[in-house]
Amino acid sequence: MEHSEMVALIRGGVGAPGGVWADIGAGTGNFTWALRELLGPAGTIHAIDRDGKAIASQRARLANAPPGATIVPRQADATRPLGLAALDGMLAANLLHFLPDQPAVLRQLAGYLRPGGRLLVVEYDLAAPLRFVPYPLPFAALASLAAAAGLGQPALVGRRVSPSSGIAMYAAVAPSPRLGAPAA
């Protein structure tokens, strides 16, 4: 997927520029850099991945980066506590379909969002597993998973069909309830 396609896919889930976000399962940073473009120079992104080589690649890429949102690469495992301060948003692009215990991980990740924060999910819209999508999370299943994590009703913000595989991908955003407000 081209950079401009990633930006277009997640644009509706980001909201206003700026803020402190995390890209969980950031890999080498393709979606991190799409998010960087949308957040602009007032933003900060904690790019987290368990693969040390991917994080090293992100650091190398930053060495020649034009001005923009600050990216803070860090090697860590999303299934363990991450010690993040309250976030305005969190991007989980192609992360959840690798995790067998999606409810537990999503509950943990949702706990890092400040009231009114956003969880932006990018996933394949599949019901049956594939070799590269062992634990699929179709959009239809995201609502119950988000509710179990204490998040509001997810809204579809982008959709794209892969020209090479024909598989649909979606981007959806689930809000963290505001203080004193129940989850939708």
Give this prediction's pTM: 0.94
Find out whether 119 and 80 touch, Cβ atoms under 8 Å. no
Task: Please report, in tens digits, the pLDDT of each residue of the chain (184 residues total).
Answer: 899 999 999 999 999 999 999 999 999 999 999 999 999 999 999 999 999 999 999 999 999 899 999 999 999 999 999 999 999 999 999 999 999 999 999 999 999 999 999 999 999 999 999 988 999 999 999 999 999 999 999 999 999 997 777 899 999 999 999 754 444 4
Look at domain 3-175 and name its CATH class: alpha beta
Structure tokens at 89: 């948003």
Question: What length is written for the chain?
Answer: 184
In the chain, domain spans: 3-175
Please report, for residues 20, 99, 145, the alpha-carbon distance to residue 75 in angstroms, rounded to integers and kept in the order given. Answer: 18, 17, 26
